[in-house]
Every structure is written in structure tokens, then in C-alpha cells.
Amino acid sequence: MEFVQNFPFFSIILSLFAGPLCSILNGKWAKRVNLAVITIILAMSSAVLAFTLRTGDSYVYMMGHFPAPWGNEIRVGMLEALMAVFFCLIMLLCMIGGVLEREREIESTKQNLYYIMVNLLLSSLLALIYTNDLFTAYVFVEINTISACGLIMIRQNGRTFEAAIRYMIMSLLGSGMLLLGICFLYDLTGHLLMSNIKEQVAILNASGQYHMPLLITVGLISVGIAIKSALFPFHAWLPDAYGYSTLSSAAILSSLVSKGYIFLLVKIFYRVIGFDIVRDSKIINVLFVFGVIGMIMGSISAIKESNIRRMIAYSSVAQIGYIYMGFGFGTELGMIASLYHIISHAATKSLLFVAASGITDASGDSTDFFDLTGAGYRNKLAGIAFTVGALSMVGFPLFTGFISKLLFAQAAVDSYHKLLPALIALAVSTILNTVYFMKTVIRIYTPEKREVLAKKQYQVITMKDQKWKSAALVCFIAINLFFGLYSEPVVGLLERGLKIFA
Amino acid sequence: MQVFMKILLGFLLVCAISVSLSKKLLNSILIFMSYSLIMSIIWILLESPDLAITEAAVGAGITSVLFFVTLKKIQAMIKSENEEGEDKDE
Amino acid sequence: MNLANLFNNYEEAVAMILFGIGFSNLLLQKNLIKKIIGLNIMDTAVYLFLALKGYIEGRKAPIVVNGVQSVEAYINPIPSGLVLTGIVVSVSVTALMLSLTIRLYRRYHTLDLDEISTRLKKEGL
Amino acid sequence: MSKKVSEEKYKKTLTYRLKQWLDGEDLFTGTVEMKPQEPYKVDQAVSEQRHEEKKRLLEQIYDIEHNPEMRIFNKIYRLFAFLFCIFLVLMLLTAVSNLPTVGSADRPVNNEVAKRYIENGLQETGAVNIVTGMILDYRAFDTLGESHVLFVATCTVLILLREDKKKKAEQNQNNDRLYEPKNDVILQTVAKILVPPIVIFGIYVILCGHLGPGGGFSGGAIIGAGLILYQNAFGFHKTERFFTAKTYKVLSFSALACYALSKCYSFYTGANHLESGIPLGTPGAILSSGLIFVLNICVGIVVAGTMYTFYVMFRKGGY
């Protein structure tokens, strides 16, 4: 066994350890520890990715002295390593981008608590990515939920509390259903380890025994995770939570937390139940329908919104709809499109949040749409970054959003029955996306009249004023361009990873 | 044994329904407390003494105390709003 | 629906009904504290369901007595362990929800979640 | 060699225009438009009126008492939610009616996994209580996560309810103990008799977690309950002499760190097929079962501290 193979386990335990460590430090040191931990984990995950690329296979890491069905284990392949690297990268950039806001909006004595939340969130995300055991997944889903709630309400005003309690209620309904689904699976198969469950489920499916409970179990788990990841009818908490929490929280929540759950769902589909059984169970058709409705309703709500951050939040609803639509195709291509969209949406949405905060900084901290007039001139980098993000969301070539839309269209062409609704939904949603994003871009590049400028005295922000945020924005733009221009290797990697994922 | 189990499960259902229907918050918390106690007896019937101890200490103990404290805080706030504060019994 | 088997599994059926009661309380009750009680009922129902999986009639709790170590002597220990983990999770969640309730009450002076959100919407923006 | 360009020429170059555009000057004013645009009025009054109208509209919409559409919508929404719940219960009952019978020994659950736990558990973990052996040794990763769930929940409660550096008067307003009768004789006498046995029983449950029913979690909760009773009888100033926020921080950090490090060691050796080298002792003795004993104590400390902290935060908002 090579030493590199220990790294996934080390990264989980390191971030888990860093949580309590931050509780005895003050805010400044906690921030340093947090950034160092994320950077170290990023490096370790990259090493793991390189290792899995070299061997081209996944491996199982035993947690403890006892082998597979008795002890816990984690499993590492290309897909998992790629996701870990990507999540760490995005989280690092989000944390760097939101430094100023955090210092301004969080009470100074509670700064270190924020970093505890971030560390534990990271560890739970990593555990969700790597774990090969359903009950461990449940425990870390709970850590994820609670720490995400902490991230929402660390900026203390009425809106965030209301959003947090709505978020908690929705997530708890979801985790109740998820846990019940896990219990059913455990009862039917007698295992908690994903690979063993799959063997048993295949036997059950072949014999036709327990067909009905199995169907209901798949339904419970899918609906539970769909509720947790804010699929369309369950998104009521989302705009407030993203719109009023502090910047780095909003960026992390929108780009990573819901994606962690979705990745768990992919894992359950592929590794626990088997994708063929899921496809035959018609559950994915339900996901498809809600995904398509979500794509359109989310965009319509975004058009009606006049607060820029809430607008971006509603756009998240639409994008999550895209991901579930990809699941709904029930094909390999659709799954790859969804996985690619997880990456591209995470990269773009966090970019948009950071850029939007740069823009509002230059508009006297107002998030109202009319106050943003001409903000693109006052904070040039943020304006450019917002434009890049908007173009990527709309699906302009060069940027990552285009590739994922292309993949979705390919997947739609591939599946016969869902071709028409999927293509229509894609077209309508793209048009609606264009309406609200381009409206904002045009607004921020419309010069404001001089009299108004003189009256309102907006601050002009250069790159030197906000060094950290500018650095984060530049990196985000680079990531967007990278995934837009060099998508071939990434898609190839996703394909290979998905093959050995099951 | 079987009969006892059936009676306890019946109690559980009654408690759960009356929690949802009761008008006063204090009543529903008390009913929930007895729900936890019944649950801990059921754990013993199911041969899981670990769970029984934990449920008794946590479900009937700590959780109920937390509920009571919350209710008390809220009522203290109501009282300071009305600025009357005559009856002090909780 | 196989009714005969449903009556055989009456414990599990009760657990499912409790789950439903808890679920609808958490979803539909307007009062926050009742919502939280509903959450607790839902969680305990799941734990009851899970613990019933491990129960085998006529066998003892999984604590080794007198060196007897045959499978026929003890019930299945796995569900008990899982429920133990689960109870901790539900306590932490309950504490978190209750403290959120206190803060919301301190600010809006009501426990009705719908009223809070209508008021927030009226404020606009 | 770059030659000097005159001011006039420079103004026509692309670079200058780009720079001008970046500086926010509209270079097309008067060249592109047919006639000059009407100045966009940003009257203070107009914008205020806009806000007012918006506010009025919102109030009209969300005035549920007098808005029948909203009321009907709410009713339909609740009806659908209720139907969803009924549907869910029916589905679950259907599922249950097809499951194997409760209490029979030949369910799929009773397979080789449980068999090994029961038959070899004593030798492999050294714990007499098989459940403890299972959650702290075979499936220790879950339990590691679980204790961090408790920790993270405490931190969120701290975020919500801890009050730092506020005025004394305001702090007292949230401290509802001030409104209570102090030094209640009955309560104090009962507490004097009850608290020591409760704490000792808690310690016993923790220490014998591997020998009988109990373990870190239940024992910690019992100790926490004892502390709460003590606090209730004697007030905060008595408990603050030995238990403050700092104590809690240090205790929980050291317990969790000890937990994480020891599990790190055992996972690392396990995965790399090394001997762990921790003696298991004779089963049944109090100092046995290797790490489980230590872990139980760690969990107990964390849980006791956490439970007490929850209570204090709810009551007072700070130590």
C-alpha cells in the first residue's frame, strides 16, 4: 500500500480535527488555520487524483482493523478525487473572496465559530464524497446540514434566522426520509456497506422478491435528497438563505452544499441500487418532471426579482433543475452532463456571488437593481467577472456553461421519449436566463448620470482596494475559462470515473 | 409480553396524536415527555438496555428540560412585554 | 397491500404511522415548538422501526453473559448501535432548533412561522 | 523606437478609447444618438414614491385577512401538504406489509455481519457489551462523526445565544434566573442529597460502558443532568467556580482531539495492516478492551459538557 492512498482519510480527519482546534483559537488564528487546512487538503487531494489517474482504478481503504462487511471503509476513484479537488478549490476561493464581508458582518467574538463550521462542512463534504457506507453517509449528511445552518445564521438578522429555520425544517424532513430509506434498505439486504447492498439488491431484483418495498425505498431516498438539495417545489428557503447570509456562506452554500447531496444521490444510484434498477423504477421520470418545471419556474422567479443576490439565488433553483433533468434521462450521457453541470455550476455560481458583492460594494452596499447602474465602471474587475459569469450561465461558447448545455442537448437527443420536453425546456430556460442575466449586465454597464453620481457619492473600487477578492475573482475567471476551453479531458475523466464508480 | 407491547404502542399513538391536538404548549411538552418514557420502556421490551438508558436520560431528561427552558424564556418575554408579572408559578 | 402481514407486523405499522404523524406535524403545524416536537416524534419513530429490525423473539440483549457466545443467544446488535448514534443526532438538532426559536421569538414576538414570513414579506425587499 | 504622438492623434487611437471606456465615460454621447436623450430623472420624491407603492402593494398582497386569493392559495397548499402526508403513510404501510415478519430469526438482517459481531466480538474488541464494541471499534467512524455532530450543534447554539460584551442591564434582561426565588431550601436539600449519587452513577455508567449497558453517551447525559440540577439549586455563581466557558472549550477540545487522534492511529494501522499494539486486557475487567475505555471517557466528557452548555446558553446566554 502506497502512502498516497492514506491521503483521503488524512484529509477527512484533518478537517475534522481542525474544527475543535478552531474553538480554542481566536478569530485571526482560526482563519489562518482554516486556510492552511483547506490548502493542505487541496494538495493532498491533487496527489490522490494523480495517483488514481496513474493506476486507472479505484481502491478501497479500510477504516479500522476489520474488512469489508464488518468495519467502515472509504472508496477512492477518479471521480471522487476530482470532486474532492474541485470542492476544495472552490471552497478556498470562496473563503478568500469573502474575507472583508466576514470581518464586517460577523461579531468579532464569533469569528472563530464560523471557521469551525467551515472546517466541519469541508470534512463532511469529503466524507460524503469518499464514503462507502450508507450510515456513515447519513451521519455526515447531518453534520453538513447543521454546519450549513450555522453558515446561514452567522450574520445575525431576522431574515437569516427565518431562512435558517426554514432550511432546517426542510432538511430535517429530507433527512428523516433518507434515514427511513436507509432502514428499509438495511432490512431488505442486511448490509450497510454500499457494495454489499448492491449485490443483495441485484439478487432480490432477479428473484422479484420485495419488489414493492424496494421501489418505495428508492423513492424515499430520492425524494429525501431532492428535498435537501432544494429541487423545485422545496426551494422556499433558498432565496432568503443565499440572499442575506454573508458572502462566503452564500457562495459555499450555493456551490458546494447542495452539490454534496447530489453527489451522494449519484453514488446511491450507481453504487447502492444499481442504475438499471433505478431506471426501471420510473422514479427518475418524476425527477425529470420536477427538474424541468424547476428550470422554468426558477428562471421566472429570478426575472421578477429586483434584489441582485436573490436573483442569483433563484437562478440556482433553475440550475439544480438542470442537474435533476440530467438524471431523468436515465442514460450514461445524461449522468455525465449532470456531473459536468455540478462542476460548471459550482464554478460559475460562486463567481457570480463574489462578483455581485464587488458590484454592490461599488453601489453603496445597495442590492437593489436600480442602484447598480454603472457599477461596472466603478469596480471594473467585478463588472468583467460578473459578465463572464452571466455569459457562462447563459451558455455562451468559451465558458463552462456552454459545454454543460451542449452535453445536456446531446443527452436529450440520445433519449427518445424525453427529447422534445427536454429540448424545449432547455431553449426556454436559456432564453429566460438571457433575459435576467443580460438585463443585469446591461444595467451595470449603463453609465449613471453625473448628477446622480455626485449626489450618491459611490465609492470607486480598484483592484488594490480589495486584494483578496480580486485575486479570487481572477482565479474564478481562469477556472471558468479552463473548464470551458479544455472540457475534453474533464469529460473523458468523468466518463472513465463513472465507469469504475459503480 | 405481547399484550404489554400492544398497550404501550397504543399509548404511543395516543400521545403522538394528543401532542398535535393539544391547545396549550405546556401540555404538549408534558405529553411528549411521557411519550419518551414509554419509548424507553419499549426499548427494554426490545432487549436494548443501552437505548433504554440513553432515551431515559436524553429524551425524557435533557430534551424535555430544554423544551421547558425555552417555554419559560418565551413566557418571561411575554411577561416583560405585558409588565404585569403577577403569577410566578411555572 | 397485504393486510394479514400488516397485522403481523403491527409494531412496524405503528412506527410508520408515528412517522406520518411526526412528519405532518413538522410540515403543517404553525407553532414552532410543536413543529420541533413533531420532529422528535418522527425521529423516534424511525428509531423504533430500526430497532425492530434487530429484535428476535426469545433472545437476550447483546451483552455476553457467562461466556456464551453463540448467535442463538443474543439479538442483533447492529440496529441498537445505529439508533444510539441517531439519538445523539436528534438531540443536537433539537437544541439547535429550540435556540433558533428563542432568537426568532425575541425578535418577532411570535411563534407562528407563517406570521413571521408574512411580516418579512410585508417589509419588502 | 517609439515616436511621440500628438495629443490629437492619441485621442483617436483605440487605446485611448478603451481607457476612456474603462473610466466610465460614454464616448458615444452625441455621435450615435439622433437626438440627445432625455435626462433620466432620479427625483428623490419619485423614487420614494416608488418604494411607497411597492410597500403598499406588498401589504395589500400579504394582508391575508382581506385577500381571498391568498387565503385560498394557503388552504390549497395545506390541503396538498396534508394529502402528501397521507399518501406517504399509505406508501410506507404498503412497504411494511411486504416486509419480513418482526421477531423472526431468518430475516436478511441476521446475516454473517451480526454473527461475527456476536461470536468474535469479545475476542476482537475486548468489550463484553457487544453494542459498545460495535459502535466504538467495528464502526468507529460513524461514532467519530456523531460526536462531532454534538460539537457542531453546540457551536451553532453558541452562535445564536451567546452574548458577548453587552451592557449589564441587557444581559440581565435575558437572564431569567433573576426572576426566580433564590435559595429555595427544599430544592437545595434535595439537590444536596441527589447530586452526588447522580454524578457517581453517571461516572459508573461511563466507566462500565464496555461491561454492561451504558457508555459514554448515556453516562455523559446523566452527569449533565446532575450538573443542571446543581445549578438550579445553587445558582450560577456556584457552578461558575468550577465550570466556565473556558473549561468547556478546553475539555471538549482535548476530548475530541484525543478521540480523533486515537482513532486516526487505529484507522491508520488498520488500513496499512499493522499491529495496533494496544492490549485488550482480560474481558470483564474494568481496565480492558483497549481504546474503547478511553473513548468512552472522551465521549462522556464531551456529552456532559455539551448538555450543561446547552442548558446554560438557554438560560443565561453566557457563562
Domains by residue range for chain C, with CATH: 3-123 (1.10.287.3510)
Asked if A369 has any chain C CB less than 8 Å from its own CB, the reply is no
CA nearest D121: which of D143, D138, D139?
D138
- Burial letters for C50-76: b for 16+ Cβ neighbours within 10 Å, e otherwise? bbbbbbbeebebbbbeeeebebeebbb
Q: Output the pLDDT for position B89.
A: 34
Do the beta carbons of residue C98 and residue B70 sit within 8 Å?
yes
Domain extent listing, chain D: 50-94, 129-315
For the segment D179-203, the average pLDDT, to the nearest whole number, is: 84
CA nearest A264: which of A295, A318, A224, A298?
A224
Neighbours of A215 (CB within 10 A): 18
Widest CA span of chain D, in angstroms? 99
Asked if B75 has any chain D CB less than 8 Å from its own CB, the reply is no
pLDDT digits (tens, 9 = 90+) for D282-291: 777 777 777 8
> Is B50 in Cβ contact with D215 (below 8 Å)?
yes
> Is A180 in Cβ contact with C89 (below 8 Å)?
no
Distance CA D98, CA C18 (A): 19
Residues β-bridged to residue C10: none
* 3-state SS class at D272: coil
For the segment D146-150, the average pLDDT, to the nearest whole number, is: 90
Distance CA A389, CA A463 (A): 18
- Burial letters for D65-77: b for 16+ Cβ neighbours within 10 Å, e otherwise? eeeeebeeeeeee
C-alpha torsion sign, points D67, D70, D76, D79: negative
* Residues 6+ away with beta carbon under 8 Å from A310: A239, A240, A242, A243, A367
Do the beta carbons of residue C18 and residue B12 sit within 8 Å?
yes
- Residue of chain D with shortest Cα separation from A152: D156
> Is D98 in Cβ contact with A64 (below 8 Å)?
no
Which D residues, 73 through 132, put their C-beta within 8 Å of a C-beta on chain A? 91-92, 94-95, 98-100, 107-113, 116-117, 124
Distance CA D289, CA D279 (A): 8
pLDDT digits (tens, 9 = 90+) for B6-53: 899 999 999 999 988 888 888 999 999 999 999 999 998 888 888 898
C58: distance to nearest CA of chain D, Å? 9
Q: Output the pLDDT for position B85.
A: 42
Distance CA D61, CA D73 (A): 12
Residue A113 has its nearest CB partner, among D23, D108, D158, at D158
A-D Cβ pairs (cutoff 8 Å, strict) = 185
Neighbours of A378 (CB within 10 A): 23
The C-alpha cell that represents A19 in the structure block: 474544527
Chains in touch with C (≥3 Cβ pairs < 8 A): A, B, D
Structural domain contains residue A315: yes
Distance CA A436, CA A454 (A): 29
Structural domain contains residue A314: yes
Between these two residues, B66 and A464, which has the higher pLDDT value?
B66
Q: Say whether the B–D interface has 3 or more Cβ pairs within 8 Å.
A: yes
Would you list which residues of chain B are within 8 Å, Cβ to Cβ, of chain C?
5-6, 9, 12-13, 16-17, 19-20, 25, 28-29, 32, 35-36, 39, 42-43, 46-51, 54-55, 58-59, 62-63, 66-67, 70-71, 73-74, 77, 81
For residue A453, what are the domain limits?
Answer: 282-502
Contacts of C70 in chain D (CB under 8 A): 118-119
Neighbours of D103 (CB within 10 A): 18
Structural domain contains residue A338: yes
Amino acid symbol at C112: D
Structural domain contains residue A455: yes
The C-alpha cell that represents D231 in the structure block: 445549578
C-alpha torsion sign, points C97, C102, C104, C110: positive
Neighbours of D263 (CB within 10 A): 23
| pLDDT averaged per 10 residues, chain A (length 502) | 86 91 88 93 93 88 82 88 92 89 84 90 92 91 92 86 90 92 89 88 85 88 90 85 88 90 91 86 87 90 87 90 89 90 91 90 79 83 90 88 90 85 90 90 82 70 81 91 88 89 78
Asked if A366 has any chain C CB less than 8 Å from its own CB, the reply is no
Q: Is the pLDDT of residue D4 over 80?
A: no
Residue B70 has its nearest CB partner, among D173, D214, D314, at D314
Q: Output the pLDDT for position C45.
A: 92
The C-alpha cell that represents A438 in the structure block: 443580460
Structural domain contains residue A362: yes
Indicate the burial class of D56 (C-beta count within 10 angstroms; 0-12, 13-18, 19 or more): exposed
Distance CA D103, CA D316 (A): 48
The C-alpha cell that represents D241 in the structure block: 467556580
Between these two residues, A16 and D46, which has the higher pLDDT value?
A16
Which A residues, 15 through 54, put their C-beta within 8 Å of a C-beta on chain C? none
Q: What is the CA radius of gyration of chain C?
A: 21
Contacts of D62 in chain C (CB under 8 A): 118, 121-122
- Residue of chain C with shortest Cα separation from D135: C81
Asked if D205 has any chain B CB less than 8 Å from its own CB, the reply is yes
Q: Find which of C84, C103, C115, C117 to mutate to test the D interface (most D CBs within 10 Å of its CB).
A: C84
Structural domain contains residue A488: yes
DSSP strands (E only) in chain D: none
Distance CA C52, CA C64 (A): 21
Residue A69 has its nearest CB partner, among D113, D164, D252, at D113
Residues β-bridged to residue A73: A62
Report DSSP state, residue A133: B
H helix intervals, B1-90: 2-21, 25-45, 49-54, 64-82
Amino acid symbol at D116: R
Distance CA A195, CA A189 (A): 11
> Is C106 in Cβ contact with B77 (below 8 Å)?
yes
**Integer angstrom CA distances of residue D317 from B78, D156, D313:** 18, 13, 4
- Residue of chain B with shortest Cα separation from D227: B62
Distance CA C114, CA C116 (A): 5
Distance CA B85, CA C10 (A): 49
Q: Output the pLDDT for position C42.
A: 92
Residue D213: left (phi > 0), alpha (psi -120 to 50), or beta?
beta
User: What is the number of structural domains in chain A?
Assistant: 1
C68: distance to nearest CA of chain B, Å? 17
Q: Which of the four pLDDT bands, split at 50, 70 and 90, describes residue B90?
A: very low
What backbone torsions phi and psi does residue D41 show, to the nearest 5 degrees?
-80, 120
D161: distance to nearest CA of chain C, Å? 7
Contacts of D49 in chain A (CB under 8 A): none
Asked if A176 has any chain C CB less than 8 Å from its own CB, the reply is yes
H helix intervals, A395-466: 400-414, 419-444, 450-456
Structural domain contains residue A89: no
> Is D152 in Cβ contact with C88 (below 8 Å)?
no
**Integer angstrom CA distances of residue A149 from A250, A346, A354, A367:** 11, 19, 20, 23
> Is C102 in Cβ contact with D160 (below 8 Å)?
yes
Q: Is the pLDDT of residue D298 over 70?
A: yes
> Is D225 in Cβ contact with B69 (below 8 Å)?
no
Which A residues, 138 through 157, put their C-beta within 8 Å of a C-beta on chain D? 139-140, 142-143, 146-147, 149-150, 153-154, 156
Q: Say whether the A–B interface has 3 or more Cβ pairs within 8 Å.
A: no
For the segment D275-302, the average pLDDT, to the nearest whole number, is: 79
Q: Which of the four pLDDT bands, split at 50, 70 and 90, describes residue B88?
A: very low
pTM, full prediction: 0.90
C-alpha count within 13 angstroms, C-beta hemisphere, residue C8:
14
Distance CA D157, CA D192 (A): 30
> Is D267 in Cβ contact with A107 (below 8 Å)?
no
A310: distance to nearest CA of chain C, Å? 10
Between these two residues, B30 and D126, which has the higher pLDDT value?
B30
> Is B62 in Cβ contact with D224 (below 8 Å)?
yes
**Integer angstrom CA distances of residue D316 from D161, D165, D177, D238, D310:** 8, 14, 8, 15, 10
Q: Which of the four pLDDT bands, split at 50, 70 and 90, describes residue D185?
A: confident
Cell 493542505: give the residue: A40
> Is D100 in Cβ contact with A187 (below 8 Å)?
yes
**Integer angstrom CA distances of residue A316 from A250, A383, A384, A407, A428:** 11, 20, 21, 19, 16
Residues β-bridged to residue C31: C112
B-D Cβ pairs (cutoff 8 Å, strict) = 54
Q: Which of the four pLDDT bands, split at 50, 70 and 90, describes residue D130?
A: confident
Q: HEC string of A24-89? A: CCCHHHHHHHHHHHHHHHHHHHHHHHHHHHHHCCCEEEEECCCCCCCCEEEEECHHHHHHHHHHHH
Distance CA D279, CA A162 (A): 52
Distance CA A402, CA A483 (A): 10
Q: Is the pLDDT of residue B86 over 50?
A: no
pLDDT digits (tens, 9 = 90+) for C19-71: 999 999 888 888 889 999 999 999 999 999 988 888 888 888 888 887 777 77
Q: Output the pLDDT for position B87.
A: 39
CA A456 to chain centre: 37
Distance CA D99, CA A187 (A): 8
User: Does the complex come out with an ipTM higher than 0.85?
Assistant: yes
Residue D215: left (phi > 0), alpha (psi -120 to 50), or beta?
left
Neighbours of A499 (CB within 10 A): 12
Residue C28 has its nearest CB partner, among D78, D107, D217, at D78
Structural domain contains residue A111: no
